[in-house]
Amino acid sequence: MVAVAATHAVGVWVASAELRVEVERAVAASGVGLSRPGPQDGGRAASDEETGVPPTECEWGRCPIVVLDSDAAAACESAGFPRRRAVLVVADSGAVDARLWQRAVRIGAEDVLELPADGHALLTALNLHAGDGRPGDGGVITVVSGHGGAGASVLASALALTVETPTLLVDLDPSGPGLDLLLGLERDEGLRWPELRVQDGRVDPEALHRALPRRESTTVLSSSPPAASADVPWEAPRAGAVRSVLRSGHDGGMTVVCDASHQRSEATEAAIETADLTVLIVAADVPACASAVRCSAWVRRHTDDIALVVRGPSPGGLRGGDVEAALGLPLLASMRPEPRLAKALERGGLTFSRRSPLADTARAVHRLHARRPQAGAA
C-alpha cells in the first residue's frame, strides 16, 4: 500500500507482516489515511524493515492515531515519550498478557487488541477517532482522597461544574452519598451505576449522554440508585466497564472527571491509570497527612501524573508545603475552607460564592490539565 498524506492519518508501527495486514485492512475500511513510517521521498512506501522501526518523538506527537505492536510500545516507553491519546496496541492471538497491558497503560494506550479476533474492535476505535482527525480533547481527571473525608467528591463536582467543555462526572465511591446528590440531581430520572450494564466493549457516547441525569453541560453517572429504585443492589463496576465509560465520554468530546474517593479497587485503579491527571486531596492536619503518605504510595503504582491539593483549615498550623514535603508530590493548591458549603449542598446542590476557594482550585487543576501532552492537538 502506498503511503498517503492525510489529515486523519494513522501511524502504524507493526513489524509482523500478518499483523500489519490486519491493521491495514481496518484502516482501509475506516476511510482514514495510512501514514507509514520511514522515508517517504517521491511517495515511496516504507519497507517492511522500516515499518518495524519504532516512531520518533516527532512522529509520536504528530500522528492523530497511533497503532503499535509490543516491541514498538516497549521502545516508546523506554524512550520516555509522554502519555498521549489515540494509541492502540495490537498483538497476535494469545500473545496479550498482564505485562503488555501494563506497558500499554503507561504510554497512554486506550486498548490492547488481539488480531484477527479483535478486528471489529480495531475498526470501531479507528472510526471513533476519524471524525475530526483527533480524539476527544477533553481528557480525563481522577480525584483521589488521601484519607476518609478529604473532600474528593466535592472537588470532583467542582471540577465538573467549572470546566468550559461538556463534562461526564463519574462516581466510583459505592459508600458515598452519590454525586447526583451533591449536584442536586438525586430525584432526576436517569441511570446510575447499579442499573447500568456495561461490559468491556464500546459504549456509544450519545446513548450514554441521553441515559444519564445532567445539570446543564454536566452529565452524571452516580453510584447511588434514584429514590424510586433504592432497592437496586449495588455492585462496584469492573475495571473494563470503567474504562469503557471513560473512553465513551472522552470519545464523545467531553472532559471526564472521576471521583475515586479513597476506595482501593480495580475500578479506581482503572480510573487512575486512564487519567491524564490524578489529583490527590489531603486535609491539612498530621493524622490526615500520615494516611495520605500510604495512599500516595498506592497511587504512584498506577500513575506518575499526580498533583496535590491541600485543604484547610489547619488546626495545628500545618502548611501546604509541609504536606508537599511529606508526600513528595508537587503542590498545586492550598485551599481555604469554602464558605457556606454545607448550606449549599442541603439546598439544591453545589454552588459557588463570588470568591470561591473551591472554584479557584478547580480552575487551577484545569489549567494544569490543559498543559498535558496532546491537549488540543490537531
Query: Is residue 117's pLDDT more than 70?
Result: yes
The verdict on residue 49 lying in a domain is yes
* Residues ≥6 apart with Cβ < 8 Å to 163: 138, 255, 257, 362, 366
In 3-state terms the chain splits into helix, strand, coil percentages (rounded to 5) of 40, 15, 45
Contact 251, 244 (CB under 8 A): no
* Residues ≥6 apart with Cβ < 8 Å to 89: 67, 68, 69, 70, 73, 100, 103, 104, 109, 111, 112, 113
Give residue-wise pLDDT tens across range 260-281: 988 788 899 999 988 989 999 9
Arithmetic mean of pLDDT over the chain: 82
Cell of 99: 505485562
* Residues ≥6 apart with Cβ < 8 Å to 81: 57, 60, 107
The verdict on residue 2 lying in a domain is no
Paired residues of 170 in beta bridges: 221, 258
Query: Among 107, 129, 151, which residue terminates a domain?
Result: 129
The verdict on residue 3 lying in a domain is no
Give residue-wise pLDDT tens across range 97-106: 888 998 888 8
The verdict on residue 244 lying in a domain is yes
Clarify whether residues 365 and 243 are in a common domain. Answer: yes
Contact 108, 273 (CB under 8 A): no
Closest C-alpha to 299, from 257, 344, 274, 269: 269
The verdict on residue 241 lying in a domain is yes
Query: Among 98, 129, 160, which residue terminates a domain?
Result: 129
Clarify whether residues 255 and 109 are in a common domain. Answer: no
The verdict on residue 354 lying in a domain is yes
Phi-psi region of 195 (alpha: psi -120 to 50; beta: other; left: phi over 0): alpha
Cell of 75: 521502545
Clarify whether residues 117 and 145 are in a common domain. Answer: no
Classify residue 288 by burial, with Cβ atoms within 10 Å: 0-12, 13-18, 19+. Answer: buried
In angstroms, rounded to a whole number, what is the distance separating the alpha carbons of residues 95 and 207? 33
Contact 97, 65 (CB under 8 A): no
The CATH number given to whatever domain includes residue 43 is 3.40.50.2300
Distances (CA, A) of 357 to 137, 158, 289, 306: 27, 11, 21, 21
Clarify whether residues 331 and 203 are in a common domain. Answer: yes
What is the signed CA dihedral for 7, 12, 13, 14, rounded to 10 degrees? Answer: -170
What is the CA angle 177-179-183, rounded to 5? 115
Give residue-wise pLDDT tens across range 66-88: 999 999 999 998 888 877 778 99
Clarify whether residues 226 and 357 are in a common domain. Answer: yes
The strand ranges marked E within 150-302 are 167-171, 214-215, 218-221, 255-261, 277-283
Give the pLDDT of residue 290: 94
Clarify whether residues 101 and 156 are in a common domain. Answer: no
DSSP 8-state secondary structure symbol assigned to residue 48? H
Give me the percent of the chain exceeding a pLDDT of 90: 39
Query: Among 129, 158, 173, which residue terminates a domain?
Result: 129
Q: Which domain holds residue 83?
A: 10-129
Cell of 71: 516491541
Query: How many structural domains comprise the chain?
Result: 2
Q: What is the full DSSP assignment across 126-159?
A: HHHHSSSSS--SS-EEEEEESSTTS-HHHHHHHH
Give the pLDDT of residue 167: 94
Give residue-wise pLDDT tens across range 359-378: 999 999 999 998 876 554 43
Task: State mean pLDDT over 192-214.
Answer: 78
Query: Is residue 337's pLDDT more than 90?
Result: no
The CATH number given to whatever domain includes residue 272 is 3.40.50.300
Task: State mean pLDDT over 134-152.
Answer: 82
Q: What is the full DSSP assignment across 304-370?
A: S-EEEEEES--TT---HHHHHHHHT--EEEEEPPPTTHHHHHHTTS----TT-HHHHHHHHHHHHHH
Give the pLDDT of residue 348: 80
Most confident segment among 33-37, 137-141, 253-257, 338-342: 253-257
Give the pLDDT of residue 44: 37
Paired residues of 13 in beta bridges: 68
In angstroms, rounded to a whole number, what is the distance separating the alpha carbons of residues 335 and 340? 15
- The pTM assigned to this predicted structure is 0.66
Residue 104 host element (H or E): helix 98-106
